[in-house]
Amino acid sequence: MTDTIVEHADRTLEVGTPLVEMTGVGKAYGAIRALEGIDLTVNAGEVTCVLGDNGAGKSTLIKIISGLHPHTEGTLKVDGQEVHFGSPRESLDHGIATVYQDLAVVGLMEVWRNFFLGSEIRKGRYPLAPMDIKGMREIADAELRKMGIAVKDINQPIGTLSGGQRQCVAIARAVYFGARVLILDEPTAALGVKQSGVVLKYTAAARDAGLGVVFITHNPHHAYMVGDHFIILKLGRRVLDRKRSEVTLEELTAEMAGGQELEELSHELKR
Amino acid sequence: MSSPVATRKSPPPTEEVERPKKSLLSALLTRPEIGSVAAAIAIFIFFFVIAEPFRTLPALSTVLYASSSIGIVAVGVALLMIGGEFDLSAGVSVVTAALTASMFSFQLTANLWVGVLVSLVVMLAVGFVNGYLVVKTGIPSFLITLGTFFMLGGINLGVTKLVTGTVATQNVADMDGFASARAVFASEFVVGGVTVRVTVLWWIFFVALATWILLRTRLGNWIFAAGGNAASARAVGVPVNKVKIGLFMGVALMCWFYGMHTLFAFNTVQSGQGVGNEFLYIIAAVVGGCLLTGGYGSAIGAAVGAFIFGMTTQGIVFAGWDPSWFKFFLGAMLLLAVVLNLYVKNYALNRRS
């Protein structure tokens, strides 16, 4: 499973090098401030977990890093250079790839078309140049086999694969195209236990290959299994920011569950 | 890093993944065109049996010409629908194109080719505006193009009346460039005793080109992705907005082409025509397997849909029936096609590995 990642990972990556640095980043949609004062660093070879309940600002954070919505406050640096992404393409060109939970793939398109979507291999540079379909099929097939994803037919619509397999195809695709920063948006949210395990292993493999991973989730158990650094968001603000050595799973779980609020609630509901 | 998840090399795949050859039936059933091809064969046999004049080659030529009259624009509409959008303004756009070329050349006494080119620019602008409004506002293309449909319809009538004082344009048959333009857009030639209209060849060419684009090029991949899951496509760097605007311009281009055909085939243009044809294009595309929700379909399917249209319009005449029933038949075809397409889509997605 690690073959693909190690093969395609950028060999110049050194563990601990900051790849993405956010300082005081915020985002306002008109009068609504979805996110403010976020400091976050993504280091090579580390998994930064961003936890939070629905509406905590996780999605906004991802959208800023992946170029879907530009930030309105603070600075975003990639490799030490300040950037302001106007489109996902710009973010991708900086080696930042995002794998979304629900929109990772186009269900009705074939597996190989999904694998190469947006980065198709062409046989020429002129408009309407034919794609190298045979080559793309072979590469996609080989890469998926290396991962142990059993696809009967590389030409089948990707919607026929299981949820975990689809996530893995999306992650493999990102890594194959030279991603150095991988953003995983709730990769395990819709998956069963076994399939979550597959995705978590793959996440750890990406980390070990030296990629910087941002793991977005609302499941502290999953986060704690792979994370090096934990950030909890609540109503667009950061309420916890700890290294792995500074926090236990219990603290994380309690904080996620609502911490102080939960205690008050349990007091209130005491029977 | 202390992580409880140790990353080991995964064991080599224990068993070679078995890859049985897909059964021919299964492969066929996942093609978007399958329903329309089956229907086309059935309808062909039906009219072949029931209407004697239908069995001749000249009749086939007539059917093909009628098919191309819908099929050319339907190619553009099919691509647009695969890209997840609609264009209700396509019917009147054809007339707008013809009126523009005709009146521009006539009023300025310019060579007709000047009018043809001006019309091309105007139409591409119409397509661009449709697409731009759709992607920038996020309002469903149904509503945007419903708006432009009425606007263009009004402009067609209003401007024609202002310029010519009547509801039709002047005859352009004796103007410079007419002969050469007619040769390109509206000529006919004889093959083995059968008269073939040039639009049939153009139609086949456009279908082939669109099929090439859809299946063999990067742009085709992007069209499917833009219609299948725009957010997902955007996230991997597909310029979804540009693709969609381009598709609207593609429809406008086909409208321009067919508009030029009507101009040079009939020499004058009635400004009130075209209303309702947009639905015929959509029906051809849907009967041919395009999903209303986008992401699935084919140009060949749309061509077969147009062929069914051609066979039916002409077949009813050849059979000596009351043509009033034609619309009923068209509606029934559409319903059947939609149900069948739903089945095909589900079959394609449930074909578990």
Residues A40-68 pLDDT 10s: 888 888 999 998 887 788 888 888 888 88
Q: How far apart are CA B316 and CA B48, in angstroms?
A: 11
Q: Between chains, do A160 and B237 touch, taking CB under 8 Å as contact?
A: no
Within a 13 Å sphere around the CA of A232, how many CA atoms are in the beta-carbon half? 21
Chain A hits for B295, CB-CB cut-off 8 Å, are 106-109
Q: How far is A269 from chain B (nearest CA, A)?
A: 36
Per-residue pLDDT at A11 = 57
Residues B137-147 pLDDT 10s: 999 999 999 99
Per-residue pLDDT at A147 = 67
Q: Between chains, do B5 and A225 touch, taking CB under 8 Å as contact?
A: yes
Q: Is A7 a residue whose pLDDT tops 70?
A: no
Residues A87-128 pLDDT 10s: 888 888 888 888 877 666 888 889 999 999 988 899 988 888
Q: How far apart are CA B11 and CA A84, in angstroms?
A: 42
Locate the domains of chain B by residue range: 56-341
Chain B hits for A118, CB-CB cut-off 8 Å, are 222, 225, 233, 236-238
Residue of A nearest to B219 (CA): A128
Q: Is B323 a residue whose pLDDT tops 60?
A: yes
Q: What angle do CA B329, B332, B336 make, to 5 degrees?
A: 140
Residue of A211 and B121 predicted with greater confidence: B121
Q: Strands of A18-29's sheet, edge to edge?
A: A32-43, A18-29, A73-78, A81-83
What distances in angstroms separate CA B241 from CA A84, A180, B138, B231, B247, one per listed residue? 20, 27, 11, 11, 10
User: For the residues of B35-73, what is the DSSP string, one character each?
Assistant: HHHHHHHHHHHHHHHH-GGGGSHHHHHHHHHHHHHHHHH
Per-residue pLDDT at B96 = 96
User: For the residues of B198-233, what is the DSSP string, one character each?
Assistant: HHHHHHHHHHHHHHHHHHHBHHHHHHHHHHH-HHHH
Q: Is A169 a residue whose pLDDT tops 50?
A: yes
Three-state SS for B240-300 is HHHHHHHHHHHHHHHHHHHHHHHHHHHCCCECCCCCCHHHHHHHHHHHCCCCCCCCCCCHH
Q: Is B40 a residue whose pLDDT tops 50?
A: yes
Residue B21: pLDDT band (50, 70, 90) is: low
Which residues contact residue B166 at a Cβ distance below 8 angstroms, ignoring those fewer than 6 apart?
Answer: B160
Per-residue pLDDT at B66 = 94
Task: Using a CB–CB cutoff of 8 Å, tell me whether A183 touches chain B.
Answer: no
Q: Between chains, do B228 and A133 touch, taking CB under 8 Å as contact?
A: no
Residue in B5, B18, B217 closest to A129 by CB? B217
Q: How far is A264 from chain B (nearest CA, A)?
A: 33
Q: Is B102 a residue whose pLDDT tops 60?
A: yes
Q: Is B18 a residue whose pLDDT tops 50?
A: no
User: Among residues 109-138 of chain A, which lie with CB inside 8 Å of chain B?
Assistant: 109, 113, 116-120, 122, 127-131, 133
Q: What angle do CA A229, A233, A237 make, to 5 degrees?
A: 120
Q: How far apart are CA B50 and CA B107, in angstroms?
A: 50
What distances in angstroms separate CA B121 from CA A27, A236, B99, B114, B158, one per listed residue? 41, 48, 13, 11, 20
Residues A131 and B221 sit within 8 Å (Cβ to Cβ): yes
Q: Buried b / exposed e across A106-123, counting CB within 10 Å, b at 16+? A: bbbbbbbbbbbbbbbeee
Substitution target from B2, B7, B16, B215 for chain A, most A beta carbons within 10 A: B7
Chain B hits for A131, CB-CB cut-off 8 Å, are 216-218, 221
Residue of A52 and B128 predicted with greater confidence: B128
Residue B13: pLDDT band (50, 70, 90) is: very low
Task: Decide: helix, strand or coil at residue B170.
Answer: coil
Residue in A109, A160, A205 closest to B351 by CB? A160
Which residues contact residue B232 at a Cβ distance below 8 angstroms, ignoring those fewer than 6 apart?
Answer: A100, A103, A104, A105, A106, B225
Q: Strands of A181-185's sheet, edge to edge?
A: A96-99, A181-185, A212-217, A47-52, A229-234, A237-243
Chain B hits for A201, CB-CB cut-off 8 Å, are 5, 7, 10
Q: Between chains, do B217 and A128 touch, taking CB under 8 Å as contact?
A: yes
Q: Which two tokens stand for residue B57?
A: 């080659």
Chain B hits for A115, CB-CB cut-off 8 Å, are none
Read off the pLDDT of each residue in A190-215 and give the average, rounded to a whole number.
Answer: 83
Per-residue pLDDT at B304 = 94
Strand partners, A78: A20, A81
Q: How far apart are CA B156 and CA B131, in angstroms?
A: 21
Residues B75-87 pLDDT 10s: 999 999 999 999 9
Q: What angle do CA A154, A157, A163 make, to 5 degrees?
A: 95
Q: How far is A72 from chain B (nearest CA, A)?
A: 20
What distances in angstroms separate CA A9 from CA A18, A44, A105, A178, one per listed residue? 16, 11, 22, 6
Per-residue pLDDT at B325 = 83
Per-residue pLDDT at A1 = 46
Q: Buried b / exposed e across A41-58, counting CB within 10 Å, b at 16+? A: bbbbbbbbbbbbeeebbb
Chain B hits for A98, CB-CB cut-off 8 Å, are 235
Q: How far apart are CA B64 and CA B121, in angstroms?
A: 29
Chain B hits for A110, CB-CB cut-off 8 Å, are none
Task: Decide: helix, strand or coil at residue A56.
Answer: coil
**Poorest-pLDDT segment among B2-11, B77-86, B113-122, B160-169:** B2-11
ipTM greater than cut 0.85: no
Q: How far is A266 from chain B (nearest CA, A)?
A: 32
Q: How far apart are CA A56 and CA A237, in angstroms?
A: 8
> Which residue in this structure is represented by tokens 């019309």?
B119
Per-residue pLDDT at B122 = 97
Substitution target from B214, B218, B293, B345 for chain A, most A beta carbons within 10 A: B218
Task: Using a CB–CB cutoff of 8 Å, tell me whether A228 touches chain B.
Answer: yes
Q: Between chains, do B5 and A226 touch, taking CB under 8 Å as contact?
A: yes
Residue of A nearest to B82 (CA): A108
Residues A224-233 pLDDT 10s: 888 888 888 8
Q: How far is A77 from chain B (nearest CA, A)?
A: 20
Q: How far apart are CA B262 and CA A263, in angstroms?
A: 77
- CATH architecture of the domain A2-107+177-268 equals 3-Layer(aba) Sandwich (3.40)
Q: How far is B68 from chain A (nearest CA, A)?
A: 24
Locate the domains of chain A by residue range: 2-107+177-268
Residue of B254 and B335 predicted with greater confidence: B254
Q: How far is B214 from chain A (nearest CA, A)?
A: 10
**Poorest-pLDDT segment among A87-91, A93-97, A134-138, B23-27:** B23-27
Residue A79's identity, in one-letter code, is D
Q: Between chains, do A128 and B2 touch, taking CB under 8 Å as contact?
A: no
Substitution target from A109, A126, A134, A182 for chain B, most B beta carbons within 10 A: A109
Residues B105 and B171 sit within 8 Å (Cβ to Cβ): no
Q: Which two tokens stand for residue B59?
A: 């009749």
With a pLDDT cut of 90, the percent of chain B lying above it is 63
Q: Which two tokens stand for residue B210?
A: 């669109």
Q: How far apart are CA A122 and CA A120, in angstroms?
A: 6
Residue B352: pLDDT band (50, 70, 90) is: very low
- Would you say the C-alpha torsion B230, B231, B236, B238 has a positive or negative sign? positive
| pTM of structure | 0.82
Residue in B10, B216, B233 closest to A106 by CB? B233
Per-residue pLDDT at B7 = 42
Instruction: Report how many Cβ contacts below 8 Å link chain A to chain B.
Output: 143
Residues B188-208 pLDDT 10s: 999 888 899 999 999 999 999
Q: Is A39 a residue whose pLDDT tops 80?
A: yes
Q: How far apart are CA A43 and CA A57, in angstroms?
A: 21
- Would you say the C-alpha torsion B21, B26, B32, B35 has a positive or negative sign? positive
Per-residue pLDDT at B234 = 86
Per-residue pLDDT at B3 = 40
Residue in B19, B225, B233 closest to A152 by CB? B19
Task: Using a CB–CB cutoff of 8 Å, tell me whether A6 touches chain B.
Answer: no
When the pLDDT of each residue in chain A is averaged and rounded to a whole number, the result is 82
User: Among residues 51-110 of chain A, which lie with CB inside 8 Å of chain B?
Assistant: 66, 68, 88-89, 92, 98, 100, 103-109
CATH for B56-341, among 1.10.287, 3.40.1130, 1.20.1070, 1.10.3470? 1.10.3470
Kindly report the number of other CB atoms within 10 A of residue A70's CB atom: 15
Instruction: Report how far Cα B91 is from the mean position of its chain's Cα atoms.
Output: 11
Residue A5: pLDDT band (50, 70, 90) is: low
Chain A hits for B342, CB-CB cut-off 8 Å, are none
When the pLDDT of each residue in chain B is averaged and rounded to a whole number, the result is 88
